[in-house]
A and B are shown apart, each in its own frame.
Chain A
Amino acid sequence: MRNLYTKLNVSNVKKLSCKLTCAAVGAIVLTAAPLQINSSIAANNTLKSSNLAKLPKDSLKSVMWDFVATEFLLSDKNTKKIVMNDSILVHAPKIAEDQLNLPVHVDARSVKNVQKIVIIADLNPIPKVLTYEPKQAEARLSFRIKVGQATPVRAAVLDKDGVWHIGGTFVDASGGGCSQPAVAYGNDDWVKRLAEIRGQIWRKPGSVASKMRIVIRHPMDTGLADGIPSFYLEKLEMKGSGGENVGTIYIKEPLSENPTLTLFPILKEATSSLHVKGRDTEGHLIDVSIPAPVQSSALID
């Protein structure tokens, strides 16, 4: 599908015929999706109704809390308990200035032995944003998301005892961030620049702490814009040249166009670079080395 779309674009054939084909596929997906969701809610509610009763009261008072907990937390086989934890910091502007690019910073360093951090925007048509499994890295990260309307934005942090720690904030927004075509489609050359990678690593002198920023050019189509099938970056793995396994990020559609991530790897002194490998939903590969010079001015708190 994407190849067809791509070729049509490259050869500058107007998008109409392609849109028709894509729209047909879109229609199938759209009609299928609600059924799927409904049946999964029903199944989970039956299976886990005893668990639902034990859910902590949602500090953000979201109408979607039961669904979010059932779908993304209780469904995890490691789950033992769910607690609200306001020591997890989720920083985002109170109002999304750009519903395609809401910046979020999550700091879960107060939780010990973090296994994964799941980011969820409850009221997005696709609520799950990403799952980060930090290994040799601090339990914090920054990223940007698309928001479909005003919504809670949560970080659910799983520790090694199977306890989910939930932190979050509420963001006001005007609507539609998930159903707009990518800005890249305004340029005819978007294919040529697909998967362009920019980034840099800063290291704190005399410390293992570092900060890595990476921007990957990608339309990150949600599949909800008219006639454009979903197409997104889905996985990134980071490894240090000294053998460090920094961590893995599993990405979903609501991450912003041109995903922009900030991570905090813990690097050996001898490590000279970080290797980032990944792929999108159509098999385009990300494979890049980011130099990590020890002599770099770092501003890491």
Chain B
Amino acid sequence: MDKLRRSIILGGGLSLAFPNWPAFASSFKYNLKAQRIANNTYVVIGKTEDFSLENGGDIVNVAFIDTSDGVVLIDTGSSRRYGEALKKLIFDTTGKDVIRVYNTHYHPDHCLGNQLFDKTKIAALPKTISGLKTSGEDFSGNLYRLLGDWMRGTEVVLPEKVINYSSEKFGKHRFEMLPFEGHTDADLAILDHETGVLFTGDICFLDRAATTPHADLNKWHKSLSEIKKIPHKILFPGHGPADITSRSIDQTDTYLTWLETNLTNAVRDGKDMIEAAKMPIPEKFRSIDLINREIERSVAHLYPKIEEKALPFLGQGGG
């Protein structure tokens, strides 16, 4: 697929449709900021928003660790431009090059900045690599559609380093590889034993509703209960602020339980998808960003399977 052509067509169309488009189209600059959350440890916190022409896909958390061997980067963002901005930010902050990149899972907001980095140094779980191989082009096509020229030149780059080891050390920092599943079929969490920072990828969300397009809720709950047992000082979720009280684990867990319970009850009460999406939101979840939007999306992801379980079987046609 000719990405360049597609982005030019889309960008051109948009500037005709929205006269104000050039106001932000002229820059296409991500305003990324590094925050230090622990010794040698910096995070770039994405907006807790959906993809939009205004944010250019700056909606994901990224982290980097400044070791004496070089910089270790966790996730690369939504686009080539994001990867460029990130690379510059890392160099401005540490003065060093990136020697290891991890992709926590195969969703596009976490790995479409890959092309700025040496692919032999990008590491991921085997199913993350195969997932990105299968779906990467579709993901990227969809983001071109949603983000237009922000995506210019973005290509899917597959990680070439397979994570089949339990830890690796750069400088004084020993990174433990913690393979989980549930948000997707391969979700990598990483524990930095030097600082006690636990990077959970999208197994944990904080104050931003969890997303479920490839979720297996049972496996996700199991992963969350295992993560709870891992001693750590700070938890850094895939979306939302750094978490010093680990409340992101409980919030994600109780939200997913509440969601599934409500959808099951909705099927039993005879609601269709549109009605099910209008479920009342309990007080404790109301301050979670994007909760209404994510409930609507989750209904689309989860409802047909719940219907198959909860609606009575009546018979089978044939002839």
With A197-B314, A198-B311, A299-B269: A283-B300 Cβ-Cβ less than 8 Å: no
Chain A residues with Cβ below 8 Å from B213 are 97
User: Are B317 and A284 within 8 A (Cβ)?
Assistant: yes
Within the complex, which residue of A104, A200, A287 is in contact with B311, where a contact is CB–CB below 8 Å?
A200
The answer to the question of A213 belonging to the interface, with a C-beta cut-off of 8 Å to chain B, is yes
The answer to the question of A163 belonging to the interface, with a C-beta cut-off of 8 Å to chain B, is no
Count chain B CB atoms within 10 A of each CB in A103, A142, A199 and give the residue with the most: A103
With A105-B272, A262-B272: A97-B318 Cβ-Cβ less than 8 Å: no
In residues 226-274 of chain B, which contact A (Cβ within 8 Å)?
269-274
User: Are B313 and A198 within 8 A (Cβ)?
Assistant: yes
CA distance A193 to B141 in the complex (A): 34
User: Are A287 and B317 within 8 A (Cβ)?
Assistant: yes
Q: How many A-B residue pairs have CB under 8 A?
A: 96
Chain B residues with Cβ below 8 Å from A199 are 311-312, 314
Chain A residues with Cβ below 8 Å from B282 are none
Within the complex, which residue of B270, B299, B314 is in contact with A290, where a contact is CB–CB below 8 Å?
B314
Chain A residues with Cβ below 8 Å from B314 are 197-199, 288-290
Chain B residues with Cβ below 8 Å from A213 are 270, 272, 311
With A97-B297, A287-B317: A215-B273 Cβ-Cβ less than 8 Å: no
Q: In the complex, what residue of chain A is closest to B143 when comparing beta carbons? A: A174
User: Are A97 and B300 within 8 A (Cβ)?
Assistant: yes
The answer to the question of A171 belonging to the interface, with a C-beta cut-off of 8 Å to chain B, is no
CA distance A197 to B182 in the complex (A): 30
With A93-B296, A98-B301, A215-B311: A195-B318 Cβ-Cβ less than 8 Å: yes
By size class, the interface of chain A is: 35 or more
User: Are A260 and B304 within 8 A (Cβ)?
Assistant: yes
The answer to the question of B315 belonging to the interface, with a C-beta cut-off of 8 Å to chain A, is yes
Within the complex, which residue of A103, A197, A278 is in contact with B300, where a contact is CB–CB below 8 Å?
A103
Chain B residues with Cβ below 8 Å from A215 are 307-308, 311
CA distance A92 to B249 in the complex (A): 33
Selected A-B contacts with CB under 8 Å, 13 pairs: A91-B274, A97-B213, A103-B272, A105-B272, A199-B311, A200-B312, A213-B272, A215-B311, A262-B270, A262-B272, A285-B319, A288-B314, A300-B270
Chain A interfacial positions (CB closer than 8 Å to B): 91-93, 97-98, 101, 103-105, 142, 144, 174, 193-200, 202, 211, 213, 215-216, 258, 260, 262, 278, 283-290, 297-300
Beyond A97-B296, A283-B319, 11 extra complex contacts between A and B, CB < 8 Å? A93-B296, A93-B300, A197-B313, A197-B317, A198-B312, A198-B313, A199-B314, A216-B317, A278-B317, A286-B317, A288-B314
Closest 9 pairs (CB-CB, A-B): A195-B317, A103-B273, A142-B272, A97-B300, A286-B317, A198-B311, A285-B319, A202-B270, A105-B274
